[in-house]
Amino acid sequence: NMALYATKLSERKQLTYALKHNRSGYLQVVAGEVEVNHQHLNAGDAALFVDGEAIEITAIKAAEMLLFDLPPA
């Protein structure tokens, strides 16, 4: 089973999402500019997370993102 989350963050706002054990996450930045786990991402960029990793997002500029919480492959 997969879960899909859509979110908007205003400039300098933060969001943390903790994946459960044995789950993967895929974050797609739709618009704006963010820092995700100390990695700079712009609109069109994406990041993959594995096995219960925490996802810490800070909006550098107002941003829109999609987060896919995925079952094990």
Q: What is the pLDDT of residue 44?
A: 98
Q: What is the pLDDT of residue 51?
A: 87
Number of H helices, E strands in the chain: 0, 6
Q: Quote the pTM value.
A: 0.92
Q: What is the pLDDT of residue 52?
A: 83
Answer yes or no: are the C-beta atoms of 59 and 9 closer than 8 Å: yes
Tens-digit pLDDT profile for residues 10-67: 999 999 999 999 999 999 999 999 999 999 999 999 999 998 889 999 999 999 999 9
pLDDT of residue 73 exceeding 80, the answer is no
Answer yes or no: are the C-beta atoms of 46 and 25 closer than 8 Å: no
- Among 26, 13, 28, which residue's Cα sits nearest to residue 65? 28
